[in-house]
Amino acid sequence: MKTLIINGSPRANHGNTQLFIDHFQSGLTQPLPVRYVLRENPTTLALEMNDYDTILLAMPLYIHAMPGIVMKLFEAMNPHPTNHKKIGFIVQAGFIESSTARYLENYLSSLAHYLNYTYLGTVIKGDAAACSILPHFFFGKLFKQLKALGAEYEKNESFDPNFVEKLGNPVYLSKFQVRLLESCLVKKLDQIGWNWNLKRNGCFENRFDQPFL
């Protein structure tokens, strides 16, 4: 059973998707090959994916959707003549609640069906934007769950529904969390991180530019 992991992040091996893949792999006895959509020609990669029995595609959520480079890869894939192939997805996102990735999840399950692959499901994890910024001990629980997900995958060639459920929590924000976030918005606390990043990248003064108008 040959599995290929695909990293669909525009930040390739420098982002949070890579951390997810690394911790998933830490649960395996044999590391799986990883390919980076960013560095590949989509048509060539789509062809080479046919050499594997199972594809695990990990990606970040960008604007409630998949990154454009992942879309290009999907457009290069053709339905497989046999239904012996499997595909599963890992989507990690910045917003806390996993329901924000639901539209993408629906798309991915339909895509698997269209491509004639058995759909292994989509693991969704929110609140992951700071994984590669904060010290790793902040994410100890998440990394353990990813390791266990990897170990279970190696045993059963599927995603353990227990871990899928745990990682997907919360599906929605509670009323209390919504109120807390709203009060942060009123006090403009949400801008602290953004402004810091804008200054760090030397574009703070241009933050209201509208180049396409």
Q: How far is the CB of 150 from ligand FMN (least distance, A)?
A: 18
- Shorter beta-carbon distance to ligand FMN: residue 17 or 145: 17
- Shorter beta-carbon distance to ligand FMN: residue 17 or 54: 17
For residue 213 the two structure tokens come to 């108008």
- Strand segments (E) across the chain: 3-7, 34-36, 54-60, 86-92, 118-125
Stretch near ligand FMN under the rule CB under 6 A, chosen from 31-39, 87-95, 140-148, 183-191: 87-95
Strand, coil or helix: 67:
coil
How many CA atoms lie less than 13 Å away from 133 in the CB half-sphere? Answer: 7
Q: How far is the CB of 15 from ligand FMN (least distance, A)?
A: 2
Taking the C-alpha atoms of residue 73 and residue 41, their distance in angstroms, rounded to an integer, is: 8
- Shorter beta-carbon distance to ligand FMN: residue 93 or 123: 93
Strand, coil or helix: 66:
coil
- Shorter beta-carbon distance to ligand FMN: residue 47 or 181: 181
Q: Which amino acid is at 146?
A: L
61 binds ligand FMN (CB under 6 A): yes
Instruction: Return the bridge partners of 38, or none.
Output: none
Taking the C-alpha atoms of residue 208 and residue 172, their distance in angstroms, rounded to an integer, is: 31
- Shorter beta-carbon distance to ligand FMN: residue 85 or 150: 150
Q: How far is the CB of 12 from ligand FMN (least distance, A)?
A: 8
Q: How many residues bind ligand FMN (CB under 6 A)?
A: 17
CA angle 81, 9, 173 (to 5 degrees): 100
Taking the C-alpha atoms of residue 210 and residue 203, their distance in angstroms, rounded to an integer, is: 13
Taking the C-alpha atoms of residue 110 and residue 108, their distance in angstroms, rounded to an integer, is: 5
**Which one of residues 1, 63, 186, 213 is an interface residue with ligand FMN (CB under 6 A)?**
63
**Which one of residues 54, 92, 98, 122 is an interface residue with ligand FMN (CB under 6 A)?**
92
**Which one of residues 22, 80, 95, 109 is an interface residue with ligand FMN (CB under 6 A)?**
95
Q: Which amino acid is at 167?
A: L
Q: How far is the CB of 194 from ligand FMN (least distance, A)?
A: 12
Q: Which residues bind ligand FMN (CB under 6 A)?
A: 9, 11, 15-17, 60-64, 92-95, 100, 128-129
